[in-house]
Amino acid sequence: MLRYTVTRTGLAAVQCAVVLVVVFALTSLLPGDTVDAVLGEQGTPQQAALARAGLGLDRPAAERFVHWLAALCHGDLGRSLVTGMPVTEQIAGRLAATAVLAATALALLVPLALGLGVLTGLREGSAADRGLSAAAIALHAVPEFVLGLLLTAWLSLDLGALPATAAGLMGLDVLTRPAVLILPVTVLVCRQLCDLARQVRIGIAEQRDGPVATHLRLLGVPERTILLRHLLPGTLAPAVQQFARCVDGLLGGTVVVESLFAVGGLGTGFVDAVQDRDMPAVQGYALVFAITAVVVNLCADLAVRGLTPRREGRA
Amino acid sequence: MTSSFGRRRLLYGAGAAAAATTLAACGLGGEDGGPDSGRSRLRAAFSAGGSQETLDPHTVPLFIDQARAKALYDSVLTYKDDMSVQGRLAESWESDRSGTRWHIHLREARFHDGRPVTAADVLWNYCRIADPATVAVSQQLFAAVDFEASRAQGRDLTLVLKDPDFEFPTALGAPGTEIVPAGTTDFTRPIGSGPFRYGSFRPGGNALFTAWRDHWSGGPHMDELEFVPVNDERARLGALLSGQVHYAHDLSGASAAQVTRRKGVSLLQTRLSTMQAILLRLNRAPFDDHRLVEAFTLGLDRKALVEVALSGRGTPGNDLFGMGLHGYPDSLPPRQRDVDRARALLKEAGAEGLAVPLETSDADPSWRNASSLIADQLSDIGLKVTPHTRSAGTYFGEIKTKGVAAQSRTATLPVITHLRSRLVTGASDNLTGYRSKPFDRLIAQATGTRDDAVRLELLARAQRLAREDDGQLVWAFSDWIVGHADSVGGLRAAPPNSCDWARFDRARLS
């Protein structure tokens, strides 16, 4: 297990490094640079040249990347080319809102997915199962931004029941008006819920009538105990991996959801940074996203390995 | 709110949020919760994508930047709706007979810290703007000022120009020429002389300004003004319709229709606000052949473009900037579509079936539809136009050097500013590569002419000349649409960059 953990962690570090190189290369390949974005129509060629020199954009991309990497080794993410603020500060200011969104979504996602998965898995083929599965597939087919627009139009603009956006609330401010979280969190949860609940349902349904469960029933063990002691643990390993993928999905979902509901979080920050070709900021966000995704998946893999009974002859 | 957050706070916060989410189906709280309720606060939503998020008034290019600057600072002059100048910090402004020495007398005004606004302050600001290293948006307008020879004394300023310029006052009202105390280097808690004082500002987040009652105009009618960045246009509309903001800037035609249908919110719609144009590069193939430029011009159906791309919220353009503004030539015949003539011109030039990429982006919401409609219209005359979509953020920077035909938009500015920065040979924003000695001569003659009527006639002649072959095909002027809550009074529809646009100190909250 220890050797697996070490190699797997090493691999995770390599994955992060690859993400950073790829993101930098791709953003460099995009046409236009920060000076194009900030000066726009205004600005003479002389001003543009001065601005480029001032920002160090006249140096080759590879050199800038190496510089950035060297600073990163000292824990310095550099300064935003657009605002001149330290990137760490800029990201920290936006981290809270996204963390609140994602944490709330996860807190709802896990119990809901387990509940729905068990409910439908135990009654595979019943009307309830067919109805819920059909609803899940339908919901899954609706893109996040469409779902967001529909829910906003109906719940907040027609019925006036919920705030339409989180406009003007920065970072942890959203907690002062929790109602603003309901729509974005709903949109985030809906999509991931379908995947995760389906994974749980499959696991439960597969084992429900399996030899072990049947044997336990013959011994007179109560259904509840069979579910808690046997069915659920057997379902956990694949569900944990699906859960890790859900976290990746949530990260992607925040980009859409934050823009739609005007949440000043990491997603909108990342989009703005790419729009403005703000390299240090783009790299900073990419680093946060990469580390999150890689760490979650690493933990999931380790958990799965811990959950899977070891066969003979394996270390 | 601090920007630091401990782990404990985050955990507590997430728990609280989860709990609140399940409990919060009890509708909205008060309009302005928080410690400041009881004070009247107007909340205005603007797009902030691409903003440098600084309160330095000289370097800020976007509407949200300009609106924030207008609240905190004053400029020396300002623009009326037709972009002619009127006084703001200046009580009077006049030139000598030669048009090279301008005398400006300032009104009695104070900065927020009580210091008087002096001519020396103003001169320092203009020096800073003219310095290329500042990268100021209005640098070009002050490039011809001889700062060595200019003088400031008390509230009297004399600016000396290198050449006669009777249109120079337009520079003193331009966006990005607001006045800060001389020597200002730090804009994190800026001092201005505008109707609002700095309260708080988080780059990328809200700016909260408080009313300054000692302003020379008598000060605002509300306690606080808050700028809320909302980049997504649909989210701005949502925030307005659900009462989260009082003012939503720059809405699309589709959103305008929704605002009209609802109670409690209204529109401010300003006609002839934004020039929508296709810029053809005259110094590159294929548009170095004038017959193709003319064919393109005759092939456009401008009425259809307004109906379809602008949802009818606009006016067909006539290939010149500034319809309805001071200095725009009257009595021009509208452009008629002439497919046969356009076809004949293409045939003559041997360019039938020629493929032309048209640069476009989502920088303007109407361009997507406009570009595909233009492609349709020009296929009638035998040109294969293919829209080429670029990234909105860097679009305007990119088209300065790339492509042969590009969508472009320009908000209202004085006609002379546009002519000098866009059409004069070698001007910094001359994207079409228009070079016309007669045009340049007329502009130089006009700016050196003291008599208003004669000067306007010369400008009109220059514009008629340019209209025929400057490569700037103005297909429409789109309306400028702002939504606001009915609880806000004292706002009026005004074109961007004018004195009354985004002027919140005259607004009242009921």
pLDDT-above-70 percentage for chain B: 93
Q: What is the pLDDT of residue B273?
A: 95
- Residue B34, pLDDT > 50, answer no
Sorting pLDDT into bands at 50, 70 and 90, what band is A311?
A: low
Give contacts of A 234-273 with B, CB under 8 A: 259-262, 264, 268-269, 272
Q: Flag if A44 and B234 touch (Cβ within 8 Å).
A: no
Residue pairs between chains A and B whose CB atoms are closer than 8 Å: 228
Residue of A42, A149, A152 to mutate, testing the B interface (most B Cβ within 10 Å of its Cβ): A42
Taking CA–CA distances from B238, the nearest residue in chain A reads A164
Nearest residue, CB atoms, A272 vs list B17, B28, B49: B49
Give the C-alpha separation, B341 to B472, whole Å: 20
Taking CA–CA distances from A107, the nearest residue in chain B reads B18
Q: Is any Cβ of chain A less than 8 angstroms from the Cβ of B275? A: no
Q: Is any Cβ of chain B less than 8 angstroms from the Cβ of A30? A: yes
Nearest residue, CB atoms, B235 vs list A45, A261, A276: A261
Q: What is the pLDDT of residue B151?
A: 97
Q: What is the pLDDT of residue B387?
A: 97
State both tokens at B103. Answer: 């005398």
Q: Flag if B239 and A165 touch (Cβ within 8 Å).
A: yes
pTM value?
A: 0.88
Burial of B445 (0-12, 13-18, 19+ CB in 10 A): middle
Taking CA–CA distances from B61, the nearest residue in chain A reads A39
Q: Flag if A176 and B228 touch (Cβ within 8 Å).
A: no
Residue of A26, A28, A33, A41 to mutate, testing the B interface (most B Cβ within 10 Å of its Cβ): A41
Mean pLDDT of B11-31: 33
The DSSP line for B180-228 is --TT----SS---SSSEEEEEE-TTS-EEEEE-TTSTT---SSSEEEEE
- Residue B201, pLDDT > 70, answer yes
A125 or B441: which leads in pLDDT: B441
What secondary structure, in 3-state letters, does chain A show?
CHHHHHHHHHHHHHHHHHHHHHHHHHHHHCCCCHHHHHHCCCCCHHHHHHHHHHHCCCCCHHHHHHHHHHHHHCCCCCECCCCCCEHHHHHHHHHHHHHHHHHHHHHHHHHHHHHHHHHHHHCCCCHHHHHHHHHHHHHHHCCHHHHHHHHHHHHHHHCCCCCCCCCCCEHHHHHHCCHHHHHHHHHHHHHHHHHHHHHHHHHHHHHHCCHHHHHHHHCCCCHHHHHHHHHHHHHHHHHHHHHHHHHHHHHHHHHHHHHHCCCECHHHHHHHHHHCCCHHHHHHHHHHHHHHHHHHHHHHHHHHHHHCCCCCCCC
Q: Is any Cβ of chain A less than 8 angstroms from the Cβ of B206? A: yes
- Contact residues on chain A for B24, CB-CB shorter than 8 A: 178-179, 181-182
- Contact residues on chain A for B230, CB-CB shorter than 8 A: 165, 167-168, 262
- Contact residues on chain B for A45, CB-CB shorter than 8 A: 428
Mean pLDDT of B276-293: 96
Q: Flag if B242 and A163 touch (Cβ within 8 Å).
A: yes
Q: Is any Cβ of chain A less than 8 angstroms from the Cβ of B228? A: yes
- Contact residues on chain A for B400, CB-CB shorter than 8 A: 41
Nearest 5°: phi and psi at B238?
Answer: -60, -45
Give the C-alpha separation, B466 to B329, whole Å: 12
Give contacts of B 59-78 with A, CB under 8 A: 61
Highest mean pLDDT among A114-128, A189-203, A267-281, B71-85: B71-85
pLDDT digits (tens, 9 = 90+) for A97-128: 899 999 999 999 999 999 999 989 888 888 98
pLDDT digits (tens, 9 = 90+) for B392-429: 888 998 999 899 999 999 999 999 999 999 999 999 88
Calculated CA dihedral for residues B498, B499, B504, B510, nearest 10 degrees = -100
Mean pLDDT of A259-274: 89
- Residue B91, pLDDT > 60, answer yes
What secondary structure, in 3-state letters, does B174-193 show?
CCCCCCCCCCCCCCCCCCCC
Q: Is any Cβ of chain B less than 8 angstroms from the Cβ of A184? A: no
Give contacts of B 17-36 with A, CB under 8 A: 17-18, 20-21, 23-25, 27-29, 33-34
- Contact residues on chain B for A82, CB-CB shorter than 8 A: 50, 52-53
Q: What is the pLDDT of residue B7?
A: 27
- Contact residues on chain B for A44, CB-CB shorter than 8 A: 132, 139-140, 428
CA distance B94 to chain A (A): 28
Q: Flag if A149 and B234 touch (Cβ within 8 Å).
A: yes
pLDDT digits (tens, 9 = 90+) for B227-273: 999 988 999 999 999 999 999 999 988 899 999 999 999 999 999 99
Q: Is any Cβ of chain A less than 8 angstroms from the Cβ of B188? A: no
- Residue B70, pLDDT > 70, answer yes
Taking CA–CA distances from A35, the nearest residue in chain B reads B397
Q: Flag if A165 and B238 touch (Cβ within 8 Å).
A: yes
The answer to whether A278 touches B241, Cβ cutoff 8 Å, is: no
Q: For A199-208, B74-83, B90-99, B193-202, which range has the lowest pLDDT when averaged over its residues? A: A199-208
Q: Is any Cβ of chain B less than 8 angstroms from the Cβ of A85? A: yes
- Residue A312, pLDDT > 50, answer no
Q: What is the pLDDT of residue B37?
A: 57
Nearest residue, CB atoms, B398 vs list A36, A44, A161: A36
Q: What is the pLDDT of residue B420?
A: 95
pLDDT digits (tens, 9 = 90+) for B334-384: 999 999 999 999 999 999 999 999 999 988 889 999 999 999 999 999 999
